Amino acid sequence: MSMQIIENSDQLEKHITALIAIEPKFAAVYKQVGLPSLRHKEAGFEQLVRAMVGQQLSVAAAASIWQRLLDAGLVTPQSIMNANDDELRAQGLSKQKIRYIKSLVDHDIDFAALETMENEQVVKTLTAVTGIGRWTAEMYLLFSLKRGVSQTLCNCL
């Protein structure tokens, strides 16, 4: 079964109109909340580092640490590999998050290859990294690779 990716607001609105034609009860919800955001994110190393930084932190704390990493130029595999733990800790990363991010660097994932892999293979590849669980892998599938969610994720929501 082929999956269509909704790339823009016009396409999203057409799909919502079709959904309302199937189930008119959605019209009231749509009228109340309007057109939702597509919430697409970039794919790649940086996006996964950002997800790891944000795990188990408030949005404000994660944003602050992320900005410090950006300002310090510590968001690429090479810059992280060249940084020592004290430099990373100075940006707000815990010992555990440093270990997770270094594990991501060590796995040297081919992010272009993820684009063509089956969902379960993407999950398997990403969860091999210390600090990336199924939830993070599926969020990457959903928002960065623009894929549908698995039944496992749907059962959690």
Give the CATH number of the domain where residue 95 resides.
1.10.340.30
Residues 49, 34 share a domain: no
Domain count, the chain: 2
pLDDT digits (tens, 9 = 90+) for 21-62: 999 998 999 899 888 776 667 889 999 999 999 999 999 999
- Decide if 151 contacts 123 (C-beta within 8 A): no
| Domain identity same for 123 and 56 | yes
Read off the DSSP letter of residue 149. Answer: P
Residue type (1 letter), 148: G
Do 21 and 75 lie in one domain? The reply is: no
Gap between the Cα atoms of 121 and 127, Å rounded: 10
pLDDT at 40: 66
User: Do residues 110 and 59 share a domain?
Assistant: yes
Q: Domain range holding 74?
A: 45-152
Question: Residue ranges of the chain with pLDDT lower than 50?
Answer: 1-2, 150-157
For residues 54 and 81, membership in a common domain is answered with yes
Within-domain flag for 157 = no
